[in-house]
Structures are given as structure tokens and as C-alpha cells.
């Protein structure tokens, strides 16, 4: 039997528009004060803890969390509006992004009362950064084959293994680790568990992995018989796979999966506004803008599904596949038609283009590669 992917159109409320205006004027103020310059891919690579704290103080982090845990009882669609504006501005949000996007919902759903009280208010204040310890040297796409082990010992758990490509582990206050607690890799999806490990910690070494431009965004994290407390277990022992799958829906569904290069697109549009860039440039700008609009409608529909508790995994995989290809196409189009030389740390469009070129190989890999996402979509549609 085949099925279909349903992405019904969704309209934002008038209250959401007011919220959008508030966020825009806050960002205009920050830009005027010179606290940041727009950057491509800033949600992953530009962390400014003070900026995150200012957002937290305005109630724009942990928005959907209950007020009992320091949150703001707002809807996923209101959060979508804030997220969209921050991404369009290229604001420095990496310090809180992972914590807000996926750890807050995961801890709210699976965490113990003590974990909720410990982490959620700090996340909502913009004071708690998280790293995700899923991938390993031999377990990326095939995540269920993780080899990191957690063994119950007196007073806690002993974790041994190596995680890789761990974004932001060098500044994170905690890392969530996927480890095998029971069975063997042959058991695949059963016997995996998640742990929250506060950082830095004895027995945990964080080594930088530098990207092609020499920057430090991700790491190798080595657990050498690191002992963590009993209550570091997140959720149920052995239910790690189910928990991680739910977490990935949050990780894959947001507008950051098509908006990483929107600051570049905006800067190019601005340049074209002031000069005759030629018919080809205007046509391509129109095409890209139309695609961005379509992706936005799809992403909004996925956010609405999440808000209503409908499972968005398949639609989220589809939007991420289309969205991350769009991000790369923006870079290629601007490179081809803008008539400028990319220059790292250069002013305006030159700097944005250089940064986007250097980051673009990652767009279709991180959070699950496009080939894997297409398999998810195909399986979801009943294609064998």
C-alpha cells in the first residue's frame, strides 16, 4: 500500500505578526548597536552567549516550555516566527540553538523531574548550551551501530567510546550521549540508552576538528571510562533509539534546514536593487525567492504538525532534503551571477559568499545525509 505526504497550508495569526515585528525591531536595534554582523550558517557556527542571554530575557528561548520550568507557554508556530527572523538576520544564535531546538523538548518529554528542574530553566534563560553525541567514527548514517558503551557501576554509569563531529562540545555545558547499555550491536535498535553528561567532566576529552577554513565548530569527544551519576540516564534504559528518533524530528524540521544561506540571498537582492545586475540575475533571484517561499510553506506545515502532536518525520525529511539543496543552490547562483570575488572575512556580500561556499558541503550531510532522508521518505511512502 502506498501513502502520501500531507502538507496542508498554514496561516500565521495576527498575534504572530506582532511578535515578528517585536523580533525585527530587537534585531534592528542589535544591528545598529553593532553587536553582530549578519553571517551565513550562524545558527551552527556563531555562538555569542551574551546575545543568547538577551534573547532569553525577552522570552524567545524555551518559548514552548511550560512556565513551571521557566518557559513561556507559547505555541510552536510562535517559536517558528522567532526562529525565522533570527535566521533571516544571520544572528549569532549557536550558543543556545541545539538546547532550545531539541534538548528542551526531549528533556521535557523523557527527563526525570530533577533533570527538568536542572536544565529547562537554564535553557530558557539562554544560559545552557548542549552538544549532541550521536555520530561515531563508524556510525553516522547507520546510527544504530554505535559502539559507545555505558556500563552500570556502583553509584552510576561508566561510559567508554568516541563521538565525532560533535558541534559545539567545546563550549557546551552538557552533552547528550547515545550509548549501548544492553545487548550487542547485532540487536540494533534495542539496548541503546541516552545519558546527559555535564561538561567538562573527568574522563571526557574534547578534541577540536578544524574545518577547511581553519575554524573550530565541531569536535571529537572521547569517553575514557568516564563515570557519571546514576541519574544521568535520560528517559528509559534501552529506549534510546525511540527517543533519538523523536529528537531527530525536531532536529530536521526547522527553518534552519533551508535558511542557512538566506543572509547571502538577502545581501545579493540588496545589491541588485541598487544596480542593473542583468536579466539573468533578476530571473534567478526570482526563482530562488519563489523556492524559498514554497519551502517556507512546507516548513510551516511541518511545524504545525509538530504543534498538533502529529508525527512529522517523513515530511520533515522531505523538507530537509529539498531545503538543504536550496541552500547550496543559493550559493552557486550568487557565485555565478553576482560578479564578485568571495573573500573570507571580507565586507558584505564578498564575506557572506566566501563563508557560504566553505560551509556548503555540510548542508546536505548534517542531521542525516540527503540519501538517508530520501530513504526515509521512500519507506514512508511505501516504496520498496
Ligand X SMILES: Cc1cc2nc3c(=O)[nH]c(=O)nc-3n(C[C@H](O)[C@H](O)[C@H](O)COP(=O)(O)OP(=O)(O)OC[C@H]3O[C@@H](n4cnc5c(N)ncnc54)[C@H](O)[C@@H]3O)c2cc1C
Helices (H), 150-278: 240-253, 256-259, 262-273
Q: How far is the CB of 174 from ligand X (least distance, A)?
A: 13
- Contact of 54 with 27, CB cutoff 8 Å: no
Q: How far is the CB of 210 from ligand X (least distance, A)?
A: 12
> Is 213 among the residues that bind ligand X (CB under 6 A)?
no
> Is 140 among the residues that bind ligand X (CB under 6 A)?
yes
Binding mask 14-53 for ligand X (x = CB under 6 A): ----------------------------------------
> Is 177 among the residues that bind ligand X (CB under 6 A)?
no
Q: How far is the CB of 365 from ligand X (least distance, A)?
A: 4
Binding mask 95-134 for ligand X (x = CB under 6 A): -------------------------------------xxx
Nearest to 217 by CA among 345, 131, 342, 324: 131
The pairing of strands 204-210 and 216-229 is antiparallel
> Is 369 among the residues that bind ligand X (CB under 6 A)?
yes
Candidates 366, 376, 377, 380; binder of ligand X (CB under 6 A) is: 366
Choose the binding region for ligand X from 12-20, 61-69, 74-82, 360-368 (rule: CB under 6 A): 360-368
Candidates 368, 376, 377, 380; binder of ligand X (CB under 6 A) is: 368
Q: How far is the CB of 375 from ligand X (least distance, A)?
A: 6
Q: Is position 251 annotated as part of the catalytic site?
A: yes
- Contact of 324 with 300, CB cutoff 8 Å: no
129: DSSP letter: -
Q: Which is nearer to ligand X, 110 or 366 (CB)?
A: 366
Choose the binding region for ligand X from 14-22, 62-70, 159-167, 232-240 (rule: CB under 6 A): 159-167
Nearest to 311 by CA among 80, 6, 9, 99: 6
CA-only gyration radius of the chain, Å: 21
Strand partners, 216: 210
178: DSSP letter: E
Q: What are the distances in angstroms from CA 354 to CA 216, 327, 335, 344?
A: 17, 14, 9, 5
Q: How far is the CB of 213 from ligand X (least distance, A)?
A: 12
* Cβ-based neighbour number of residue 273 at 10 Å: 9
Q: How far is the CB of 135 from ligand X (least distance, A)?
A: 3
> Is 340 among the residues that bind ligand X (CB under 6 A)?
no
Active-site hit among 78, 136, 247, 251? 251
Q: In the bound complex, which residue of the shown chain has the CB atom lying closest to ligand X? A: 140
> Is 199 among the residues that bind ligand X (CB under 6 A)?
no
Q: How far apart are CA 94 and CA 46, in angstroms?
A: 5
Q: How far apart are CA 156 and CA 230, in angstroms?
A: 4
Candidates 60, 165, 258, 326; binder of ligand X (CB under 6 A) is: 165
Q: Which is nearer to ligand X, 132 or 357 (CB)?
A: 132
Q: How far apart are CA 321 and CA 258, in angstroms?
A: 9
Q: How far is the CB of 276 from ligand X (least distance, A)?
A: 37
338: DSSP letter: S
236: DSSP letter: S
Q: Which is nearer to ligand X, 141 or 245 (CB)?
A: 141
Candidates 135, 194, 243, 261; binder of ligand X (CB under 6 A) is: 135
Q: What are the distances in angstroms from CA 276 to CA 34, 55, 280, 286?
A: 30, 38, 11, 15
> Is 218 among the residues that bind ligand X (CB under 6 A)?
yes
- Contact of 317 with 252, CB cutoff 8 Å: yes
Contacting positions for ligand X (CB under 6 A): 132-135, 140-141, 165-167, 218, 362, 365-369, 371-372
Residue numbers annotated as active site: 251
Amino acid at each position: 500500500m502506498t501513502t502520501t505526504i500531507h502538507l496542508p497550508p498554514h496561516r500565521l495569526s495576527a498575534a504572530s505578526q506582532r511578535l515578528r515585528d517585536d523580533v525585527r525591531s530587537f534585531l534592528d536595534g542589535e544591528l545598529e548597536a553593532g553587536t553582530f554582523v549578519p553571517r551565513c550558517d550562524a545558527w551552527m557556527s556563531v555562538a555569542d552567549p551574551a546575545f543568547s542571554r538577551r534573547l532569553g530575557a525577552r522570552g524567545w528561548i524555551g518559548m514552548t516550555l511550560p512556565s513551571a520550568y521557566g518557559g513561556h507557554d507559547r505555541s510552536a508556530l510562535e517559536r517558528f516566527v522567532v526562529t525565522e527572523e533570527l535566521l533571516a538576520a544571520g544572528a549569532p544564535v549557536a550558543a543556545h540553538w541545539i538546547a532550545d531546538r531539541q534538548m528542551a523538548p526531549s528533556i521535557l518529554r523523557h527527563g526525570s523531574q530533577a533533570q527538568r528542574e536542572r536544565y529547562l530553566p537554564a535553557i530558557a534563560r539562554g544560559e545552557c548550551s548542549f552538544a549532541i553525541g550521536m555520530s561515531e567514527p563508524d556510525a553516522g548514517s547507520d546510527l544504530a551501530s554505535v559502539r559507545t558503551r555505558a556500563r552500570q557501576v556502583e553509584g552510576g554509569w561508566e561510559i567508554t567510546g568516541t563521538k565525532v563531529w560533535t558541534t559545539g562540545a567545546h563550549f557546551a555545558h552538557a552533552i547528550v550521549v547515545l550509548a549501548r547499555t544492553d545487548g550487542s550491536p547485532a540487536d540494533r535498535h534495542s539496548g541503546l540508552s541516552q545519558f546527559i553528561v555535564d561538561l567538562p567532566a573527568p574522563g571526557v576529552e574534547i578534541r577540536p576538528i578544524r574545518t577547511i577554513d581553519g575554524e573550530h565548530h565541531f569536535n571529537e569527544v572521547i569517553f575514557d571510562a568516564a563515570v557519571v551519576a546514576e541519574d544521568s540516564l535520560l528517559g528509559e534504559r534501552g529506549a534510546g533509539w525511540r527517543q533519538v528518533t523523536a529528537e531527530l524530528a525536531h532536529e530536521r524540521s526547522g527553518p534552519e534546514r533551508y535558511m542557512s544561506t538566506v543572509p547571502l540571498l538577502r545581501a545579493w537582492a540588496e545589491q541588485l536593487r541598487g544596480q542593473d545586475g542583468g536579466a539573468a540575475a533578476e530571473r534567478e533571484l526570482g526563482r530562488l525567492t519563489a523556492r524559498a517561499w514554497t519551502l517556507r510553506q512546507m516548513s510551516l506545515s511541518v511545524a504545525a504538525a509538530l504543534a498538533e502532536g502529529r508525527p512529522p518525520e517523513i515530511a520533515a525529511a522531505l523538507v530537509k532534503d529539498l531545503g538543504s539543496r536550496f541552500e547550496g543552490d543559493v550559493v552557486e547562483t550568487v557565485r555565478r551571477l553576482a560578479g564578485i570575488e568571495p573573500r573570507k572575512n571580507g565586507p558584505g556580500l564578498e564575506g557572506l559568499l566566501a563563508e557560504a561556499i566553505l560551509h556548503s558541503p555540510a548542508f546536505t550531510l548534517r542531521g542525516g545525509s540527503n540519501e538517508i532522508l530520501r530513504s526515509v521518505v521512500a519507506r514512508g511512502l511505501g516504496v520498496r
